[in-house]
Structures are given as structure tokens and as C-alpha cells.
């Protein structure tokens, strides 16, 4: 590894991603932790960033039972396409993270041309999104060109989602630079310890925390933001402190589509991609295929576009797509709830969800809130759980009788 600012290398110089440093073990740990969180609502797991090779997957460690083991092993097999090599049965015979890493490496040595990521989902099963590795590498080559020289990548996001995989696994490998896993640390402190040429990969909520507690002068440092919209005033404040910040637009389905470096600028379409004239469809992705866009897109010039809101009413919480109406529908199933509406909080309030509840009875609201909080822990994913509860005899409405904010 080099300590100087690095520029993109040629493909001939790069080893497979799963041979680069601890990338494969990190991917597996994040994937296992992500799947276990879904299987065990409300349970706290040890942070995957600290898992070592001897981490026990069964008793004495993560404590997976036989059903969890099969489910998690299947998820890993699907993500890395281990079934293409026929090696996936070995995952059920071994119980240590290091063993799984070796098994996966053997499988990838036979087939590593595709990966499957999942949308974050909200209610129901996350959607699988298959990508050719060559397409992801093509995006990284394009992203690296406009990012310019980088000394070191610092990541605060998991790498089994497409954003983390692209920029905390493929980008360091492509540039042959070191990667620092900064998860589990205070975002403001991470920003304070960045050095000139460092690139920090984070999500909007983390950038908001950096704005609150990070250094006033971010000159010489660079950052990436994706997974959800970055509030324009937050964007302006960070670049006003000297940060070179790039916002990336894309999704698990499409990978990266465009980028911009100022909040008032349109996104620039990454080279090699094209959008339909009506802005509804990505006509050509990294694999030469087309697919519908999740957002309303307005073309604003040659190779440039602006976003005009989601088509499916999803919001992003911690990089995860969440559907407030579906969360509200879930809350309405509680026997103490007559009506419920859910909205996202502002980024300054934490960019989580808030709920307005019309209870069956207005007696002892404090106890009701405690019951609803416990119920949400058991029935909703972490990103879906409201962090603010408001109770009233009727839903808030405007003078015209339409639902209003509270």
C-alpha cells in the first residue's frame, strides 16, 4: 500500500476484490450481521467491524440455531453466488467466521463474475438486485476519475450493501490505497482526525452529526454521501468549511447513476449511462440494460438531471428505504390504536420517523407510549421504529381538512 495520493490504476494491476486485504471477511461479517438483525428483531449483536476470524457463529459466539444458520448461509450464498461453485454446503459444516471466509474464497475462485445485493426493504422481503462485477468496476473507474487523487478511504457504512461495497471495497482496491473502518466511532471525531487527501464514505445522517461536532475547518478532506438526499443547507455548510463533498445518486437496483459537488447543481450523469428523454427510465446501465427509475427525474441539459422526488413515497433512514405509510398501517394493527400517521423527522432532529397516534383511550398515555415502543421493537425493523410519539384525539389537519405536519 502507498501513503501518497493515489490515482486510478489499470485493470491489469488489480487483484480480485476478495483477495484484497480483509475485504472478504468484512463483507461476510456485515452480511451475517445484517441478516441476523432481521431474524432477531430487538436483539443487539456485537458490532461486525470487530469480528475476528475465530468469531464463533454458533454457541459461544453469535449463537445461531440450525434454522438461523441455514437462513444466513443461504443469504451469503446468494450474495456471493457460491452456488455457482457447488461449495455452499460447507458453510453448514463450519462455525467460525474465518472458516466461512476460506469457503467463500474457494467459491469465488471458481465464479466471481456476479454479486447480489438487496434493497433495504421496509415491510416484507428485501428485493434482490443482481449485478455483474464488471459493471460495478466500470462505475468505480468512472467515479475514481472525477474524485481525483485519494490518500486513504475511511468508511462509516457496511460493505454488504452496494454503496459500501463500491466505495469501501472496490475503490480502495482500485486505487491500491488503505481502508480504515471507522464504524463504532463518533463521526465528529473521525472527521477531526482525517488528514489531507482522506476520503470519508458516510450517509446523510452521519454528515449531519459531523456538521454538529466536527472541526470547523475541513479543508483538504473529501467526502462521499449517498443512500438518501443530502439536505441543501447541510451540503452548503460542509463545503463552506472546505470539505470537497460529492453526493452520489443511485440505488441498489441501478448502482451509481450521477454525482454533484454542490447542492444547487444538477447531477452529472456518469459516463457510459443514459436516461430516457422523459426522465422515467435509465436507458442503459453499467451492464447495458435499462430499468425504471425510482425517482422522478428532470433532464436539465446535456448529461445532467435534477431529482423531483420519489415515485414510491419512500424515505431514507440510515441509508435504508422506509415507507412511512406502511409503518403507519402496521401501527394501526395495535389494539390500543385507532388511527396513526407516520412522517420523517428533519435531518436536524435526527432524520428518523415520528408517529402521531389517535389512541383508543386517552388515559395513561405515558404507559401507552411505552407499550407502543416495545411493540415497535418487536414488530418493526430498527429504521422503521418511530423515535417521536405524539398523541391526540384526532389526526392533525390543515384548514382545508388535509393531513398536516405536527
Sorted by where each begins, the domain ranges of the chain are: 17-112, 132-310, 323-391
The pLDDT value given to residue 319: 67
Could you report the per-residue pLDDT of 177-199, keeping only the tens digit for each? 999 999 999 999 999 999 999 99
- Where is pLDDT greater, at 41 or 203? 203
Answer whether 251's CB lies under 8 Å from 228's CB. Answer: no
Q: Is the pLDDT of residue 15 over 50?
A: yes
CATH 3.30.300.30 for domain 323-391, yes or no, is yes
The pLDDT value given to residue 214: 96
Residue recorded with cell 400517521:
341
Q: What average pLDDT does the chain have?
A: 89
The pLDDT value given to residue 352: 86
| C-alpha span between 60 and 40 (Å, rounded) | 17
Answer whether 99's CB lies under 8 Å from 107's CB. Answer: no
C-alpha cell at 385: 421504529
The pLDDT value given to residue 399: 64
| C-alpha span between 290 and 161 (Å, rounded) | 21
What 8-state DSSP symbol labels residue 347? Answer: G
Classified as helix, coil or strand, 205 is helix
The pLDDT value given to residue 341: 92
In total, the chain counts a number of residues equal to: 406
Helix axes 97-110, 66-80, angle to 10 degrees: 30
Could you report the per-residue pLDDT of 259-293, keeping only the tens digit for each? 999 999 999 999 889 999 988 899 988 888 888 88
Among the ranges given (1-15, 55-69, 159-173), the one the predictor scored with the smallest mean pLDDT: 1-15
Phi, psi of 119 (to 5 degrees): -65, 160
The pLDDT value given to residue 350: 66
Q: Is the pLDDT of residue 124 over 70?
A: no
The superfamily (CATH) of domain 132-310 is: ANL, N-terminal domain (3.40.50.12780)
Quickly state the pLDDT bin for 314 (edges 50, 70, 90). confident
* CA distances to 78, 117, 354 from 317, in Å: 25, 18, 12
Q: Is the pLDDT of residue 1 over 50?
A: no
Average pLDDT value for residue range 149-160:
95
Could you report the per-residue pLDDT of 223-236, keeping only the tens digit for each? 999 988 898 999 99
- Where is pLDDT greater, at 123 or 340? 340
Average pLDDT value for residue range 101-115:
97
Of 92, 107, 194, residue with least CA distance to 152: 194
The pLDDT value given to residue 2: 45
C-alpha cell at 75: 443469504
C-alpha cell at 202: 458516510
Average pLDDT value for residue range 294-311:
86
The pLDDT value given to residue 143: 93
Tell me the fold of 17-112.
Answer: 1.10.1200
The pLDDT value given to residue 404: 78
| C-alpha span between 152 and 141 (Å, rounded) | 17
Q: Is the pLDDT of residue 346 over 80?
A: no
Q: Is the pLDDT of residue 345 over 80?
A: yes
| C-alpha span between 124 and 202 (Å, rounded) | 26
The pLDDT value given to residue 7: 61
Could you report the per-residue pLDDT of 35-90, keeping only the tens digit for each? 998 888 778 889 999 999 999 988 788 999 999 999 999 999 999 999 999 999 99
Q: Is the pLDDT of residue 25 over 50?
A: yes
Answer whether 131's CB lies under 8 Å from 119's CB. Answer: no
| C-alpha span between 100 and 260 (Å, rounded) | 39
- For the chain, the C-alpha Rg in angstroms (whole number) is 22
pTM of the model: 0.79
The pLDDT value given to residue 123: 42
Amino acid at each position: 500500500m502507498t501513503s501518497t495520493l493515489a490515482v486510478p490504476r489499470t485493470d491489469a494491476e488489480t487483484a480480485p476484490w476478495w483477495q484484497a486485504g480483509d475485504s472478504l471477511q468484512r463483507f461476510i461479517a456485515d452480511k451475517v450481521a445484517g441478516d441476523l438483525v432481521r431474524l432477531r428483531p430487538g436483539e443487539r449483536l456485537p458490532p461486525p467491524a470487530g469480528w475476528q476470524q475465530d468469531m464463533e457463529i454458533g454457541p459461544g459466539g453469535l449463537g445461531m440455531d440450525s434454522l438461523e444458520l441455514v437462513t444466513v448461509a443461504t443469504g451469503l450464498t446468494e450474495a456471493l453466488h457460491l452456488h455457482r461453485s457447488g461449495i455452499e454446503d460447507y458453510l453448514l459444516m463450519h462455525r467460525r467466521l474465518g472458516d466461512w471466509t476460506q469457503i467463500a474464497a474457494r467459491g469465488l475462485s471458481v465464479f466471481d463474475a456476479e454479486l447480489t445485493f438487496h434493497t433495504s426493504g421496509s415491510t416484507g422481503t428485501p428485493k434482490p438486485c443482481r449485478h455483474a462485477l464488471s459493471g460495478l468496476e466500470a462505475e468505480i473507474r468512472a467515479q475514481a476519475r472525477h474524485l481525483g487523487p485519494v490518500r486513504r478511504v475511511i468508511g462509516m457504512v457496511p460493505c454488504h450493501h452496494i454503496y459500501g461495497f463500491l466505495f469501501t471495497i472496490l475503490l480502495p482496491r482500485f486505487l491500491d490505497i488503505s481502508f480504515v473502518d471507522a464504524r463504532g466511532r463518533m463521526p465528529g471525531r473521525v472527521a477531526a482526525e482525517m488528514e489531507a487527501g482522506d476520503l470519508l464514505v458516510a450517509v446523510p445522517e452521519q454528515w449531519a452529526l459531523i456538521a454538529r461536532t466536527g472541526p470547523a475547518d475541513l479543508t483538504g478532506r473529501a467526502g462521499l454521501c449517498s443512500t438518501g438526499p443530502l439536505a441543501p443547507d447541510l451540503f452548503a455548510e460542509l463545503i463552506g468549511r472546505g470539505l470537497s463533498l460529492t453526493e452520489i445518486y443511485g440505488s441498489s437496483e441501478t448502482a451509481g447513476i450521477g454525482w454533484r459537488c454542490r447542492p444547487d447543481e444538477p447531477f452529472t450523469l456518469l459516463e457510459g449511462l443514459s436516461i430516457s428523454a422523459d426522465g422515467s427510465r435509465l436507458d442503459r446501465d453499467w451492464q447495458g440494460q435499462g430499468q425504471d427509475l425510482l425517482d422522478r427525474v428532470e433532464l436539465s441539459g446535456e448529461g445532467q438531471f435534477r431529482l423531483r422526488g420519489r415515485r414510491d413515497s419512500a424515505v431514507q433512514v440510515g441509508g435504508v428505504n422506509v415507507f412511512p405509510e406502511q409503518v403507519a398501517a402496521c401501527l394501526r394493527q395495535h389494539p390500543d390504536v385507532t388511527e396513526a400517521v407516520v412522517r420523517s423527522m428533519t435531518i436536524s432532529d435526527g432524520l428518523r420517523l415520528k408517529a402521531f397516534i389517535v389512541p383508543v383511550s386517552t388515559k395513561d398515555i405515558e404507559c401507552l407510549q411505552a407499550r407502543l415502543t416495545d411493540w415497535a421493537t418487536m414488530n418493526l425493523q430498527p429504521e422503521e421504529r418511530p423515535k417521536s410519539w405524539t398523541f391526540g384525539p384526532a389526526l392533525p389537519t390543515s384548514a382545508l381538512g388535509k393531513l398536516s405536519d405536527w
